[in-house]
Structure 1
């Protein structure tokens, strides 16, 4: 791997570390655990993808067992960040919904960072944005399909 490619890998790692630190800062400011923030992100991603946000989905995405997932959901519900609601199509199923107050908190904290990233993306032409999209999609695939140390 050429040195230039390795520098890009290190830059991606630096961005992810910084993003993780910001998530931890957000969690601390709002009386949450960093896993709580990851859970809210998972639930918001599911909503954007129009996927039913269930406890099973959340546990699988976060790598938690059933008891850990229930504890996490209970904590987020007590904080007023998540609500359990019955599925209109299958009343036996309980769905999870991120509450407006949690969305507002996230927008207040992460909004300026997202706006900065959008400004950067706006400075790129469509071909450059497509290249960034292809790289990030491929990087995501590597992390979700390959075992570390394998």
Structure 2
């Protein structure tokens, strides 16, 4: 491997802040794994429920195809996932009103109850940490985190398109 592979982020992205974001991502993933395992749920199960919740909140119909695409799963893996969530009482399959051939996925009250129980400690600790900041500071952090999410999405899309994995030479 060349020294080029170990280059630091550009000066516009302070390395300590990038490391903190990486640490946050790692700890959030560890929390999800720990909380999910207490309810015998895998990370993919929890990600599926998050997708269903997000789409439902926007008034969108959630189908197995939506889940497959969002979670980058094969059709058999998606079916197994939905079967697990259905068997555990977290999701129901319903026929969509306008197209009876289309299956719609809905979260059950049990999913909301279990999700609340799993994520209440995280919510409580994060709420206490946020209480230390002014509304203006929280607005700034919200803008920053929104930009970081958008940057991560752009990088993921670039990686999936086979685009450049590192910036080109300075202009």
- TM-score, normalising length: structure 1: 0.87
The one of 26, 30, 33 equivalent to 2:39 is: 30
If each structure's helix is expressed as a fraction of its own residues, which one has the higher value?
1
Q: For the residues of structure 2 that align with 1:89 and 1:127, how far apart are their CA atoms?
A: 46
Structure 1 residue 125 displacement after superposition: 2.8
The one of 121, 124, 134 equivalent to 1:112 is: 121
State the secondary structure of the residue aligned to 2:94. Answer: strand
Q: Is the 8 A contact 2:36 2:118 kept in 1?
A: no
Q: For the residues of structure 1 that align with 2:112 and 2:139, how far apart are their CA atoms?
A: 28
Number of residues of Structure 1 aligned to a counterpart in Structure 2: 150
Q: Supply the RMSD in Å over aligned alpha carbons.
A: 2.0
The one of 81, 85, 109 equivalent to 2:90 is: 81
Aligned to 1:94: 103
Structure 2 portions without partners, runs of 5+? 1-9, 166-171
1:59 and 2:46 matched: no
Q: For the residues of structure 1 that align with 2:58 and 2:42, how far apart are their CA atoms?
A: 25
Aligned to 2:28: 19
Superposed CA deviations along residues 80-127 of structure 1, whole A, max 9, x for unmatched, are 111111222332321111111121111112112113223333443333
Aligned to 2:144: 135
Structure 1 residue 21 displacement after superposition: 0.9
